Amino acid sequence: MLETLDTTGNVLLMLLGFGLIIVVHELGHFLAARWAGIRVHAFAVGFGKAIFSWRKGLGFRVGSSDLEYQRLERAAQLPPADDDGVPSEVARRAREKLAALSPTEYRLNWFPFGGYVRMLGQEDLNPSAASKADDSYTSKPVWKRMIVISGGVFMNVILAGLLFMGAYLFGLREMAPVIGSVAPGSAAAEAGIEPGDVVLEIDGKPAETFNDLFIASAMGEPGDPIELRVARIGATDPVTVEATATKGGDLGLLQLGVGPGVGAGLVEEFESPSDRERFDRRMASVGFEGALPGMEVERFARVSGSGEVSGAGDVEFRNVASLLFHEVRESGGAPIRVTLRDDERSVEGELFPQTDMQRAELTTHSGDALLADHLAGLTPVMAIEHVMPGSPADRAGLRAGDVFARMGTVEWPSVPAGRAQLGASAGRDIGCTVWRDGDLVEITARVTNRGTLGFYISDGSATAPIVRGLSDASLPSGALESPIEPGTRVTAVDGVGVSTFASLSRELRLALQSRGQAVLTLEYEIGSETIRDEQTLVASPEQLEAISALGWNAQSFQSVFTLNQFMNVASNPIDAIGKGVHRTHYIMTMTYLTFLRLVQGSVPVDQLHGPVGITHIGSRVADQGFVYLIFFLGLISANLAVVNFLPLPIVDGGHMVFLAIEGITRKPVSIAVQNIATLAGLALIGTAFIVVTFNDIMRLVG
């Protein structure tokens, strides 16, 4: 079912803004044409029939004044009244009236989402339209016509700069250039990038926001390393690292494998009551039941030490939360006592660090390669943390805490195997069995066209420790060979009870590191009987070394904090001009790079947005406030300037190519060639329109 494009008001506001950008583009053509002395028949806002119009000498009219003007033109051309060539009285009066009229009609049409300029002797869709009149487009020298053609792009660049300047005068809240998380095995992890690093420079240029890093990796030359200069907690001088982005993730873009940093406080705004429920469940699962949205970290201390971190507060964007999570990474697994506080109360609890996971590449029965996170050969079965209201999962009856005993054809699927089953069932029903409070429940759900059901996958912090063993020969030396069958519940490690996969992996790692082996208490089903058993996992020196090299994290707790954001605001109008010019240049450069990367294949076509997607995104941006809408329209204006100046037929860039050829050869490109190029351009742009619109609709449907 197609999701509603937010509110009607926001959609209309976005459409009007997009229409304004096009009108400004056409205004550029109009002003340049008037400067060049070209007769302009019409400057129109919108498309379709005119609501009203204005023409100098005639004034306002309901509808268009074209017919009235054309009647005068025909009357002025009536034959002479006698053989002496004296004009008829009707012709004379018509000529006098025409002399007092402007040839240009300014009109507002019924569909005010765009506009156009109609010049004498120039029509985009009809290259043969020409005129020998002195004030026609075709009679002007090549250099003047180039200025007319580039006038629209020039105005869009100016508009983008003005919109960006306005946005920065009011101020934009943007993500700080801080690394919050580093995915195991990612390009960032291999390069030595650490959570908490503040990115100072990217390839020698100052980093202003986290998005600068995201775009630098996505738009980088495939295979070329990105040089980062970072401020690191505990280091007195900046550290320089090089990382080569790799393709992956849900977007299929080049990426480093990093996430943004967190701010000092817990989230305090929720889109729905279910999101607030998810927050409360997450806080309870990590030992801070009763914590309220908006609370901030007041203090923390490692249970076995002071918890103090030196050399950490001298860099912008750092805060007590970033220091806390740095302490978690340095804790060695020791609990950390944390106090959260707001204006009225405080909550204290012990934060138990989670272990990072090992990563193994597995091969499915169909030959596909899957990356599975595991510890000592144990990987969690796919489970649900949160179900999105109104989603297919919600309608099918899936709930938070459900563990998949079967998804499609896979019994007790791991996370990657479960995702693969969903992807293979895109647009169709899938049969599932879930383990819920000790019972098995049958579910049938409709998978979206994007291969999703609409739930968040549990990170193991709040779901039962139901596991499957990995014993594939392709596993690295850090995985322990395990006889554990899929669907086994681990209830204790060395006698210490575990209730979630996060606590299981933590206790298993600590046991292996302390004595090289661990006794697991297991439960599994044989028929209707529950079997309880104990098995011992013994680590070899090589396996123990691989496990000991893993880091510690508090991802479950970290995910409920706000992002590390700052108010990017100009200090004065001059600074706003500088920021506006810089942002305009930056966006235009990135747009050109996007097309280049499309050709190279590092940016997939399905990441492009068409009118439907732009309207949808823009209407959501409007919810954040008028300043963000202004900034978004600036992005669109800068992008339109680039797209319009690409050397493709139909758009302004294609006309510039023809004019350049005419300037070199001293004769215009033949009408036949122009017609063929026009048809080719229409086919290309039409195909692109269909593809991006299809992608937009699939995103909304999915």
pLDDT single digits (tens) 361-402:
766 555 566 778 888 888 899 999 999 988 999 999 999 999
pLDDT at 312 over 50: no
**Region 586-601 average pLDDT:** 72
Shared domain check, 339 and 438: no
Beta carbons within 10 angstroms of residue 210's beta carbon: 24
CA separation for the pair 535, 524 (Å, rounded)? 13
pLDDT of residue 364: 57
CA separation, residue 31 to residues 113, 124, 659 (Å): 20, 18, 19
Shared domain check, 275 and 218: no
pLDDT of residue 614: 56
Average pLDDT across the chain, whole number = 83
- Which 3 state secondary structure label does DSSP give 680? helix
- The reply to whether 554 falls in a domain is no
Per-residue pLDDT band for 294 (boundaries 50, 70, 90) equals very high
Domains held by the chain: number: 4
pLDDT of residue 537: 85
Among the listed ranges 223-227, 332-336, 409-413, 607-611, which one has the minimum average pLDDT value?
A: 607-611
pLDDT at 4 over 50: no
- Contact between 245 and 217 under an 8 Å Cβ cutoff? The reply is yes
pLDDT at 195 over 70: yes
- Contact between 298 and 346 under an 8 Å Cβ cutoff? The reply is yes
- The reply to whether 14 falls in a domain is no
CA separation for the pair 141, 138 (Å, rounded)? 8
- Which 3 state secondary structure label does DSSP give 620? helix
pLDDT of residue 20: 85
Per-residue pLDDT band for 200 (boundaries 50, 70, 90) equals very high
- Which 3 state secondary structure label does DSSP give 406? strand
Long-range contacts of 681-685, Cβ-Cβ distance < 8 Å, separation of 24 or more:
681/648, 681/649, 681/650, 681/651, 681/654, 682/649, 682/650, 684/648, 684/649, 685/648, 685/650, 685/651
Question: Tokens standing for 454?
Answer: 């609409």
Beta carbons within 10 angstroms of residue 183's beta carbon: 17
CA separation for the pair 334, 304 (Å, rounded)? 7
Taking Cα atoms as reference points, which of 330, 357, 305 lies closest to residue 508? Answer: 357
Give the 3-state DSSP-derived string for 46-104, with helices as H, strands as E and coil as C. Answer: EEEEEEEEEECCCEEEECCCHHHHHHHHHHHCCCCCCCCCCCCHHHHHHHHHHHCCCCC
Percent with pLDDT over 90 in the chain: 26
Shared domain check, 151 and 188: no
With 0-12 / 13-18 / 19 or more C-beta atoms within 10 angstroms meaning exposed / middle / buried, residue 337 is: middle
CA separation for the pair 178, 269 (Å, rounded)? 22
pLDDT at 430 over 90: yes
pLDDT of residue 447: 94
CA separation for the pair 503, 492 (Å, rounded)? 10
pLDDT of residue 126: 62
Shared domain check, 520 and 374: yes
Question: Tokens standing for 362?
Answer: 């597995």
Percent with pLDDT over 70 in the chain: 84
End position of a domain, from candidates 260, 275, 306: 260
- Counts for the chain of helices (H) and strands (E), in that order: 18, 34
**Region 580-595 average pLDDT:** 79
pLDDT of residue 317: 80
What's the DSSP call for residue 306?
-
CA separation for the pair 329, 354 (Å, rounded)? 9
The angle subtended at Cα 365 by Cα 359 and Cα 367, nearest 5°, is: 75
488-493 and 346-351: which strand pairing? unpaired
- The reply to whether 133 falls in a domain is yes
pLDDT at 3 over 50: no
Taking Cα atoms as reference points, which of 626, 647, 619, 630 lies closest to residue 583? Answer: 630
pLDDT at 227 over 60: yes
- Which 3 state secondary structure label does DSSP give 464? coil
Per-residue pLDDT band for 642 (boundaries 50, 70, 90) equals confident
pLDDT of residue 653: 85
Shared domain check, 508 and 379: yes
The angle subtended at Cα 469 by Cα 446 and Cα 368, nearest 5°, is: 55
Domain of 536, in residue numbers: 364-543
Q: Where do we find the tokens 């995702």?
A: 419
Long-range contacts of 273-276, Cβ-Cβ distance < 8 Å, separation of 24 or more:
274/386, 274/387, 274/388, 274/389, 275/386
- The reply to whether 109 falls in a domain is no
pLDDT at 10 over 90: no
Better-predicted residue by pLDDT, 506 or 604: 506
CA separation, residue 605 to residues 223, 226, 332, 636 (Å): 20, 24, 44, 18
- The reply to whether 88 falls in a domain is no
Shared domain check, 603 and 484: no
* CB-side neighbour CA atoms (13 Å) of 397: 10
pLDDT at 140 over 50: yes
- The reply to whether 70 falls in a domain is no
The residue count of the chain comes to: 702
pLDDT of residue 701: 55
Per-residue pLDDT band for 679 (boundaries 50, 70, 90) equals confident
CA separation for the pair 644, 647 (Å, rounded)? 8
pLDDT at 495 over 70: yes
pLDDT at 349 over 60: yes
CA separation for the pair 510, 609 (Å, rounded)? 48
DSSP element (H, E) containing 404? strand 403-407
With 0-12 / 13-18 / 19 or more C-beta atoms within 10 angstroms meaning exposed / middle / buried, residue 697 is: middle
DSSP element (H, E) containing 181? strand 179-182
Among the listed ranges 168-182, 498-512, 682-696, which one has the minimum average pLDDT value?
A: 682-696
Question: Tokens standing for 613?
Answer: 């997607």
Shared domain check, 467 and 388: yes
pLDDT of residue 619: 60
Shared domain check, 692 and 577: yes
Question: Tokens standing for 506?
Answer: 């933590």
Per-residue pLDDT band for 318 (boundaries 50, 70, 90) equals confident
End position of a domain, from candidates 543, 562, 585: 543
- Contact between 565 and 176 under an 8 Å Cβ cutoff? The reply is yes
**Region 643-668 average pLDDT:** 85
Shared domain check, 315 and 256: no
DSSP result, 573-603: HHHHHHHHHHHHHHHHHHHHHHHHHHHHTSS
Better-predicted residue by pLDDT, 32 or 605: 32
CA 391 to chain centre: 21
- The reply to whether 400 falls in a domain is yes
- The reply to whether 108 falls in a domain is no
* CB-side neighbour CA atoms (13 Å) of 596: 12
Shared domain check, 461 and 434: yes
> What CATH number does the domain containing 188 carry?
2.30.42.10
Among the listed ranges 62-71, 90-99, 330-339, 589-598, which one has the minimum average pLDDT value?
A: 589-598
Maximum CA extent, the chain: 121
Q: Which residues contact 272 (CB under 8 A, 6 or more apart)?
A: 389
Shared domain check, 684 and 658: yes
End position of a domain, from candidates 355, 383, 413: 355
First vs last Cα of the chain: how many Å apart? 8
pLDDT at 5 over 70: no
- Contact between 104 and 43 under an 8 Å Cβ cutoff? The reply is yes
Shared domain check, 529 and 428: yes
